[in-house]
Amino acid sequence: MTPNFEEMYNTYYMKVYSYILTLSKNQHDAEEITQQAFFKAMTAKNGHMGAASEFTWLCTIAKNIFVDSTRIQKRKGELDENQAAATNIEDAFANEDTAFRIHQVVHNLDEPYKEIFQLRVFGELSFAKIGMLFGKTENWARVTYHRARIKIQERLDEQ
């Protein structure tokens, strides 16, 4: 049974849009997500299987798109914060006195924090390559580097 997408769109667009608007609290995002949901529904291999109503099916697709986009935005925000913090420490190397203090702190760091920080900042290696060197994951390298930066910042603040 081939669904009539134009009829489905006309019947459910405002309902799905309203549902997503309550989640996103942003008209533009709600419009975009609703459009994506209908597009995904129209291009789905299996289409609507009938286990739930068409409205429920469309809302589920829209909600999943909303959750994915929220997750991406959150990651992007965290990435921006991490990059800013990393830049602050790395910018401090420009000042000779500060650079010497940072080298002292890094020199006294415990392993693997010391090596991870040095590989990332001085060796300019990617997290994936650092993880491979240690036989660990890229995520492990990211977390360890982040912890090393925190330790360095804390010790610099103590001085």
pLDDT of the residue at 46: 64
CA distance 20 to 64: 10
Average pLDDT for 2-9: 73
Amino acid identity, position 23: L
pLDDT of the residue at 2: 44
CA distance 65 to 32: 10
Q: Please indicate whether residue 101 or residue 48 has the higher confidence score (pLDDT).
A: 101
Give one DSSP letter per residue of 101-140, joined into a string. Answer: HHHHHHHTPPTTHHHHHHHHHTS---HHHHHHHHTS-HHH
Parse the chain into domains and list their residue ranges: 5-76, 93-158
Instruction: With cut-offs at 50, 70 and 90, classify the pLDDT of residue 79.
Output: low
Whether 159 has a pLDDT exceeding 80, the answer reads no
pLDDT of the residue at 151: 85
For the ranges 1-5, 18-22, 26-30, 94-98, the lowest mean pLDDT is seen at 1-5
Within 8 A by CB and 6+ apart from 151, the residues are 109, 113
Residue 43, judged by CB atoms within 10 A of its CB (0-12, 13-18, 19+), counts as exposed
CATH number for the domain whose boundaries are 5-76: 1.10.1740
Q: What's the predicted TM-score (pTM) here?
A: 0.46
CA distances from 52 to 10, 72, 98, 100 (A): 19, 28, 63, 65
For the chain, the average pLDDT equals: 78
For the ranges 81-90, 128-137, 141-150, the lowest mean pLDDT is seen at 81-90
Task: Tell me the two tokens of residue 151.
Answer: 């330790």
Is the domain spanning 93-158 CATH 1.10.287.610? The answer is no
Whether 153 has a pLDDT exceeding 60, the answer reads yes
Range of 30-44, 68-82, 116-130 with top mean pLDDT: 30-44
pLDDT of the residue at 83: 53
